Amino acid sequence: MGARHQLLPLAALLLLLLLLAAAAGASGGVTSGYRRKAEATADMPLDADVFRVPPGYNAPQQVHITLGDQTGAAMTVSWVTASEPGSDTVAYGRSPGKMDLSARGTHARYDYYNYTSGFIHHCTLANLKHGVKYWYAMGFGHTVRTFWFTTPPKPGPDVPFKFGLIGDLGQTFDSNSTLSHYEANGGSAVLFVGDLSYADSYPLHDNNRWDTWARFVERSVAYQPWLWTAGNHELDYAPEIGETTPFKPFTRRYPTPFRASGSTEPLWYSVKIASAHVVVLSSYSAYGQYTPQWAWLDEELRLRVDRRATPWLVVLIHSPWYNSNGYHYMEGESMRVQFERWLVDARVDLVLAGHVHSYERSRRVSNVVYDIVNGKATPVRDLDAPMYVNIGDGGNIEGIADNFTRPQPRYSAFREASFGHATLEIKNRTHAYYEWHRNHDGAKVVADSVWLTNRYWMPTQDDSN
Ligand SMILES: [Fe+2]
């Protein structure tokens, strides 16, 4: 009697625990109840102030910078002159009154069907000091324009740094809102996950929209480096009008420091900023076994990543591997099958993707045990695996992707059909704070956030709720 009497509360407790577990397993994460008001997504008109051509004859326009080497001890400055080549020289220095250094770049034009570009200049400033503010100017001989940037701090295991995370930006009124929100939240470099201008949405891929986009984003990209990932809207592959060179406008306009990371192509490369090692991949270049991108990533993860020097390992792709939206569903699947095992083995902290025009964050999951006979094709919780974030919500002309599959898969922690941007603030080797902001809120309002714990330094910590 006494023993049975003691067992009853235990059985009730077990039943309660079972019920709680069943309730927890019945759904995935959160599908946000936030409903943005219905409104058309429209490109800003050509006479919008953000597209204004700077005054002065042949004034440098579309100024943008990106890393010129792997760590930011070099910076590549790009700009366009419309009427004539002008000077290829950039003057720079530690104060606006003392730009006593100079570097000489190159320029070129390209043709795209019935469009001929302006003179596109690229000039790399080398041997810079880390963590230092430089002023720079170009346009000598005609109209000089002056800007400034701060180089990233020297890479190290506990060097804090704040990244902006933006994708699929385009040039709509929503795009402008996204950029303004990001500027208010103040990162020091942007990890851009692809789909820049959406010029290919216009008849004949109107490349004038590449020009307007670059003028629009100059207010940020001239002052801090953006790291570029290629999206499908960068392909500009149009054999019907004789344009058969994929990525022609994108690669002519947006250089990447690919040679510094041992890559042979500008579309996949890596950089080391503060305590992060950022790997950029191309969803639209060959990645099958033995291809150049496959071979480079193999060596990159095995030989060149050092988590003691740069603890945070972040991978950028355009087409997501984990996406529970009906739009672009499973488009990233073949690349996931090819590379996911490597990323889990490498204990990647975070994978950022765009392409799907909504926001979604995953738990730490993997799906790497399947082979063609065992039938084990379900994603499972995996603390070795990356967290996946879809941040293709910059606000482009194609509008919002509001077509989530139901029920929400268990791997999906949070999803919402809104435009916005995110930031990743690395604190030290063990902790980073991630937050997402929707455009319809004030810039400082956080709509989703999570503390990440580093997969190399705190591998058993479950941080992906
Ligand atoms: Fe895309």
pLDDT tens for residues 360-378? 999 999 999 999 999 999 9
What is residue 113's predicted lDDT score, i.e. its pLDDT?
98
88 contacts 32 by C-beta, under 8 angstroms: no
345 contacts 390 by C-beta, under 8 angstroms: no
What is residue 10's predicted lDDT score, i.e. its pLDDT?
52
First-to-last CA distance in the chain?
44
Element holding 165 (H helix, E strand): strand 161-166
**Backbone torsions φ then ψ of 336, nearest 5 degrees:** -60, -45
- Signed CA dihedral, 132, 143, 45, 236: sign only: negative
Q: Kindly list the catalytic residues.
A: 328
Position 91, amino acid: A
Å from CA of 389 to ligand 1 middle: 15
Return the structure tokens found at 331.
Answer: 């488009």
Å from CA of 390 to ligand 1 middle: 11
Å from CA of 192 to ligand 1 middle: 12
Return the structure tokens found at 57.
Answer: 């004859």
Å from CA of 275 to ligand 1 middle: 29
432 vs 428: CA distance, rounded Å: 7
Q: What is the CA radius of gyration of the chain?
A: 24
Å from CA of 267 to ligand 1 middle: 15
401 contacts 379 by C-beta, under 8 angstroms: no
Flag whether pLDDT at 23 surpasses 90: no
pLDDT tens figures, 107-158: 999 999 999 999 999 999 999 999 999 999 999 999 999 999 999 999 999 9
pLDDT band at 231 (very low <50, low <70, confident <90, very high): very high
Question: pLDDT > 70: what percent of the chain?
Answer: 93
pLDDT band at 27 (very low <50, low <70, confident <90, very high): low
pLDDT tens figures, 248-257: 999 999 999 9
Work out the mean pLDDT of the chain and round it to a whole number: 93
Q: Say what the pTM is.
A: 0.93
Return the structure tokens found at 214.
Answer: 């670059």
pLDDT band at 12 (very low <50, low <70, confident <90, very high): low
Residues 6+ apart with CB under 8 A from 414: 29, 30, 32, 359, 360, 361, 448
**Backbone torsions φ then ψ of 213, nearest 5 degrees:** -60, -45
Distances, alpha carbon 314 to alpha carbons 99, 214, 272, 305, 381, in Å: 35, 26, 10, 11, 19
